[in-house]
Amino acid sequence: MATMTSIVLLLLASPLCATIVRSPAPPMGWNSYNSYSCNPSEAIIKLNAEGLISTGLKDLGYTLVTPDCGWQNQSRDAQQQMQWNATLFPSGGEALGKYLHGLGLRFGLYSGGGYHQCGSYDLPGSLGYEEIDAKTFAAWGGDSLKYDNCFSTSNDTMVDNDSEEAQSPARFEKMAASLDAQSRDFQFFICQWGIGENVGDWASQIGNTWRMSNDIYNAWRSIWRISNQVVPYYRNTRPGAFPDMDMLIVGLDALSAEEERFHYSMWAINKSPLLIGAKLDSTLPAASLKTLSNQDVISINQDPLSKQARLVKRYTEEEWDVWLGELSENRQVLGIANWRNESQSVELDLRSIGIGEANAKDVWAAESLGSLQRNLTIDLTAHEMKLLLLTNITAPQVPFESTGYYPASNASLSGSATLSTCPNGTCHPTGLKAADIGQDASITFRSIKAKSSGSKLLGVDFINYDYATTTAWDWGSNTRNLSVEVNGGQSKRWAFPLSGENWYETGRLSIEADGFVAGASNEVVFRAVGNSSAPDIVGFEVFE
């Protein structure tokens, strides 16, 4: 009864409070950080807000404007409220909000759940002041809050990625509840950096978006790193809950025009927010503006189904990937990603990704390709992401079928490799995994069946949660490599992305391995590559 009463009271009370708005599509807008670091100012914000309008980007949906770190005064006022730094923002926060709203834009606020703000040792954080700050942000007319994770555990350590406290949802939940208590709608963007376990599980409950990686870096290699880390978050992505791959580096003079299209495509199909980080003035390259303005790519990102694309096939030595995302109205987006910095021609059998026939539009070329089936030959230029919008999709007449599942628990392990029993319900589908596959280890599967000789599609069930935080600034890639040798032939290498949100959540990577012979006597050996560990292996399934 008590519970019933409180539910009734809550329902009655709800019209008085607003709540975190579950905006159905990923946020789009502009943020100051990538171009101005923690040094925004009123003039900078106004320049770029006006840039959104003069470039036409506002009309395409980029409406949120966020001054990132560095906007504050060092002291709170007598009522303990945060204040704007009047040297940098002479008109103050409320006036800035009015100005942005007057332009038809939305006002994004930024703070963090720590003792200080990121990028400073003296600007006050929101930790312990959540209710006051949420109220102040609402009074200024804020429409969203990006909430960062610096100084989470001490006054003098800016980045703590390892402690339980730094990884905990508690500080983010406190701010979410404080925003919910305001009589103003907010979007809540969690910037916890994807540290710890199961971040998408809790963050998607309380935030519109969650940063699933360390910061983007102004170089091509961070595209590879973040793409490998976003893979498993499709489980949490849904309308109102999106994985944040960080602000775009399009227009920042770090990538070629082709690479900018690749980066933008990858963010769009994975349903990341599309937050521009470039200066929207005369220095913005025309090609970058054109990329940011592609309406087909924007509508793929904003599609009402809100399904993150899946990495459905990878060719590591050949350096290309196949990504496939479901869209509304029974459409799909097919992304063919050339990680090689050279042009190459690749072949893809649509049947191997579950498609019989489909009509296709090459999105970036803006041309119809007519009806496609079976084997496509795709010419890719260096670092190109080809995006094909598929409609009228039919299933293959003769689909690939499983001809057997081979658990690691039934394989011969050598060297450091050990078989480990996982907590109940994990390490799908067997509950066991081969772990510690180091330099001298191998896992040998015998008696593998094949109906015919040649290349087979293998669905490898693996576990990798070796995520990059400090190595993110360098060459951390969120991958572990595995070599696969069939019947004593030449071994081949694959880079496995993250599989899940902990060391027990299985992911599946589909690869093609050659050298099988018809019959039931095939032998497949998995090994680590060089001196770095392989992903843990649960088993694999063969498809023909």
Ligand X SMILES: *[C@@H]1O[C@H](CO)[C@@H](O)[C@H](O)[C@H]1NC(C)=O
Q: Which residues bind ligand X (CB under 6 A)?
A: 73-75, 77, 83, 85-88, 115, 154-155, 161-162, 220, 316, 341, 349, 359, 374-375, 391-392, 406, 410, 424-425, 446-447, 469-470, 477, 479-481, 495, 530-532
Q: Mapping DSSP to helix (H, G, I), strand (E, B) and coil, where does residue 17 land?
A: coil
The single-letter code of the amino acid at 403 is: T
Of 74 and 295, nearer to ligand X (C-beta) is 74
The C-alpha angle 176, 93, 89, rounded to 5 degrees, equals 130
Q: Which of 64/390 has CB closer to ligand X?
A: 390
| Pairwise CA distance, residues 86 & 537, whole Å | 57
Nearer to ligand X, 205 or 368 (CB): 368
Report the residue number, 19 or 154, with the smaller CB distance to ligand X.
154
Which residue lies nearer to ligand X by CB, 194 or 207?
Answer: 194
Shortest Cβ distance from residue 281 to ligand X (Å)? 21
What is the rounded CA–CA span in Å between residue 117 and residue 123? 6
Is residue 215 part of the annotated active site? The answer reads: yes
Cβ 142 to ligand X, closest distance in Å? 19
Q: Of all helices (H) and strands (E), which one includes residue 481?
A: strand 480-486
Check if the beta carbon of residue 27 is closer than 8 Å to that of residue 209: yes
How many Cβ atoms sit within 10 Å of the Cβ of residue 144? 27
Minimum Å gap between C-beta 29 and ligand X is 24
Annotated catalytic residue within 148, 461, 466, 536:
148
Sign of the C-alpha dihedral, residues 56, 61, 63, 66? negative
- Among 185, 201, 215, 296, the active-site one is 215
CB of 115 to ligand X, least distance (A): 5
Enter the DSSP assignment of 5. Answer: H
> How distant, in Å, are the alpha carbons of 224, 327, 421 from that of 24?
27, 14, 40
Q: At a CB cut-off of 8 Å and minimum separation 6, what does 359 contact?
A: 368, 369, 370, 371, 372, 390, 391, 392
> CB 288 → ligand X: shortest distance, Å?
17
- Its sign, for the CA torsion 331, 381, 226, 231, is positive
Least distance between ligand X and beta carbon 516 (Å): 13
The closest alpha carbon to 392, from 368, 364, 365, belongs to: 368
Our answer to whether residue 68 is catalytic in this structure is no
Nearer of residues 124 and 273 to ligand X, judged by Cβ: 124
Cβ 275 to ligand X shortest distance, Å: 23
Residue recorded with tokens 């299209």: 261
| Burial class for 199, CB neighbours closer than 10 Å (0-12, 13-18, 19+) | buried
Query: What residue type is 35 in one-letter code?
Result: S
> Which H or E run includes 174?
helix 170-180
Query: Catalytic positions, please?
Result: 148, 215
